[in-house]
A = this chain, B = another copy of it.
Amino acid sequence: MNGHLEQIRTFLAVADQSGFAKAAVVLGTSPSSITRAVAELEKRLGVQLLKRTTRRVSLTQAGQNYADRTRAILAELDQIDDSTRAFQTALQGHLSVSAPLSFGTHFLAGPIADFRKIHPGVRLSISLTDQFVDIMQEDFDMALRISAAPSDLSTIWRKMRLVRRSLVASPDYLSAQRPATSPRDLRDHDCLSYTTNLADTDTWQLTNNNSGVTIPAHVRFAFASDNGDLLAQMAIAGQGIALLPDFIVAQAIDSGQLVRVLPTWSPPEIWLTAYFPPYQKLPAAVEAFTICIESSVSELQL
């Protein structure tokens, strides 16, 4: 019983039971421990807390004061512990999520509404950006990313869903060009490049669905942006060929505004992945939101 709090608890037990021996019984220890703990507490404070003979124990004025006030403190501290414990199990607090921009605008509204309906106690912040953020520094509880493979950004992650991509262009554009039958033909086309760091060249690794042959197509691009939706609109406007996730262009394909180019060739797989700060075990709110997104995204036809 060397800790300060343990000494206080011991002292309070003596005060309650008005006796060292009785306190020892209650605390399940020996009277000698009680003596030592109280003595050390008194020594630490430099004040006698208990007036004691071998037959009776009563509080000094300092002791009465100390007992009253520490009792309140202890209760408060227990309450803090309890409410802190609740963070692991209860759905509460603030949830801060980073997500890709286009993905967010296309698919997040539904899951977020569901989540908020189920867990109204959780305050939710969603930051939409395609930049790879430092999840620790920016203090996010999770970050959704669409990328080829888990980078070294964060230690723990969870793959959620494969995101299909397609090469698309507008029928107008295609009818004005020679049709492309191989990735090599792309060099003769205007390509629309998604790029976060606005470099002037890009490479599309295309694999044939049947033969498995991979051809790296070094494409010169006519237009580049770090926003998929804008690229899609440019493609619709007949500005060239774009490599975009299906969830962005699916509607335009259905309506005939865009058609797939080289449909037998596939770009490298990319995944919707959730990244987390180094939690050993996910907090309840984070876990719940992750599951909410996961189930919602699995129902989508991408």
Give me the interface of A with B, judged by CB distance under 8 Å. Answer: 2-6, 44-48, 51-53, 56, 58, 60-62, 65-66, 69-70, 73, 76-77, 80-81, 83-85, 87-88, 93-94, 136-137, 139, 141, 155, 277-281, 283
Which of B45, B85, B137 contacts A85, CB < 8 Å? B45
Could you give 27 example pairs across A and B, Cβ below 8 Å? A2-B2, A2-B3, A3-B4, A3-B5, A3-B6, A45-B84, A45-B85, A47-B84, A47-B85, A47-B87, A47-B88, A48-B88, A48-B281, A51-B277, A51-B278, A51-B279, A56-B136, A56-B137, A60-B279, A61-B87, A61-B93, A62-B283, A66-B80, A66-B84, A70-B80, A73-B76, A73-B80
- Give the shortest distance, in Å, between A209 (CB) and chain B (any CB): 40
Given A3-B6, A5-B3, A278-B51: A62 touches B84 (CB 8 Å cut-off): yes
Copies in the complex: 2
A137 to B58 alpha-carbon distance, docked (Å): 9
Chain B: which residue is nearest A155 at the CB level? B53
Known: A47-B87, A61-B283. 4 other contacts (CB 8 A): A3-B3, A3-B6, A52-B278, A73-B80
Chain B: which residue is nearest A282 at the CB level? B48
Q: Enumerate chain B residues within 8 angstroms of A277, measured Cβ to Cβ.
A: 51, 58
- Give the shortest distance, in Å, between A189 (CB) and chain B (any CB): 44
A147 to B278 alpha-carbon distance, docked (Å): 76
Q: Verify B94–A61 contact, CB threshold 8 A.
A: yes
Q: Enumerate chain B residues within 8 angstroms of A85, measured Cβ to Cβ.
A: 45-47
